[in-house]
């Protein structure tokens, strides 16, 4: 009996929801305390080839270690030059040579609607996302994060899609993550409801900045118990480092209080690459300071 058959035999999501809520899987100990980056932060600065004032993704791991003292990298499909094996092997080797680790592939296929009412469209979406799983496995990442869709879908349909993806990923050593994006942005219960239906094979990757303001704290508090990773997103920083959009330290504390210990993946943006790196360094130092403070309590 495979996992999906077992879920149905056990009565679907109802029984699993209780077990997941009672005993979420712990964060990966190997990445506790780590701060890293998401490659989406560098979208406007990336170039497929070397160019003045531009950055090749293949050079990012070296910059991470030399200029930021960081080693954890979350990849986004839109930042990859290609999904061809030769390029993926180059990128994996560049990370290894710099002492970095590639942890996740964010699969940003906007047209792949995993909850579509048309079964033909849904099967096509699943096939497209599964294709990116092959690239993720070649890169050596441990996680994959597909998009849950822009519009809210029937929970049963999207749950079934995520179950299938979890099975497919598990066969390749990959864990599927769900992020508060699309229709989940204003639903504090979206992540735990989906994980409750799918089961503990699905983990969360809460994004501090994606929530609607009214549900940010509640959403983070409910998503962090199931988190494998966190997109620690910061918008514009004032010259003194203050962040007007929302309280970054509170976002950290909500994660810590839920038992999450990292990795914290910086997602931040600036038109000037040098300033972006400086501000990422400041955010890195804040997270390290907060971690040390809470570790000593």
pLDDT tens-place string over residues 1-20: 333 332 333 333 333 333 33
Does residue 97 surpass a pLDDT of 50? yes
pLDDT at site 28: 62
pLDDT tens-place string over residues 124-171: 999 999 999 999 999 999 999 999 877 787 888 999 999 999 999 999
Task: Name the band, by pLDDT with cuts 50, 70 and 90, for residue 297.
Answer: low
Domain boundaries, position 197: 3-295
3-state secondary structure string, 77-135?
HHHCCCCCHHHHHHHHHHHHHCCCEEEEEEECCCCCCCCCCCHHHHHHHHHHHHHHHHH
Structure tokens at 150: 């822009």
Structural domain total, the chain: 1
> pLDDT: is 297 or 126 the higher one?
126
What is d(CA 190, CA 187) in angstroms, rounded to the nearest whole number? 5
The domain spanning residue 200 has which CATH number? 3.20.20.150
Does residue 24 surpass a pLDDT of 60? no
The percent of residues in the chain predicted with pLDDT above 70, rounded, is: 90
pTM: 0.89
> pLDDT: is 79 or 111 the higher one?
79
The percent of residues in the chain predicted with pLDDT above 90, rounded, is: 80
pLDDT at site 111: 81
Residue whose pair of structure tokens reads 């997602």 in the numeric block? 267
pLDDT at site 148: 87
Query: If you average pLDDT over residues 101-111, what whole number do you get?
Result: 92
Structure tokens at 229: 């990773």
Structure tokens at 37: 């980056």
Task: Name the band, by pLDDT with cuts 50, 70 and 90, for residue 60.
Answer: very high
pLDDT tens-place string over residues 243-266: 999 999 999 999 999 999 999 999
Chain-centre distance of CA 259, in angstroms? 17
């Amino acid at each position: 009996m495979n996992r999906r058959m077992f879920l149905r035999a056990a009565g679907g999501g109802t029984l699993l929801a209780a077990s997941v809520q009672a005993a979420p899987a712990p964060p990966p100990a190997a990445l506790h305390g780590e701060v890293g980056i998401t490659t989406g932060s560098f979208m406007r600065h990336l170039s497929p080839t070397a160019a003045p004032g531009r950055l090749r993704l293949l050079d990012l791991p070296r910059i991470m270690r030399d200029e930021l003292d960081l080693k954890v990298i979350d990849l986004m499909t839109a930042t990859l030059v290609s999904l061809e094996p030769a390029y993926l092997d180059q990128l994996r080797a560049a990370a290894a040579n710099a002492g970095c680790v590639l942890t996740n592939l964010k699969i940003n296929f906007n047209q792949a609607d995993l909850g579509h009412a048309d079964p033909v469209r849904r099967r096509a979406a699943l096939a497209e996302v599964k294709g990116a799983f092959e690239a993720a496995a070649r890169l050596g990442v441990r996680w994959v994060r597909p998009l849950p869709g822009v519009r809210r879908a029937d929970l049963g349909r999207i749950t079934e899609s995520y179950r299938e993806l979890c099975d497919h990923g598990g066969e390749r050593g990959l864990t599927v993550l769900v992020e508060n994006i699309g229709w989940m942005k204003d639903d504090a219960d979206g992540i735990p409801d989906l994980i409750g239906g799918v089961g503990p094979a699905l983990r969360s990757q809460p994004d501090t900045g994606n929530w609607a303001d009214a549900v940010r704290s509640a959403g983070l508090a409910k998503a962090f118990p199931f988190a494998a990773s966190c997109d620690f997103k910061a918008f514009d920083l004032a010259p003194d480092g203050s962040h007007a959009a929302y309280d970054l330290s509170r976002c950290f504390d909500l994660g810590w209080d839920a038992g999450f210990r990292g990795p914290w993946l910086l997602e931040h943006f600036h038109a000037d690459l040098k300033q972006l790196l400086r501000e990422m360094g400041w955010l890195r130092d804040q997270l390290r300071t907060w971690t040390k403070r809470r570790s000593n309590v």
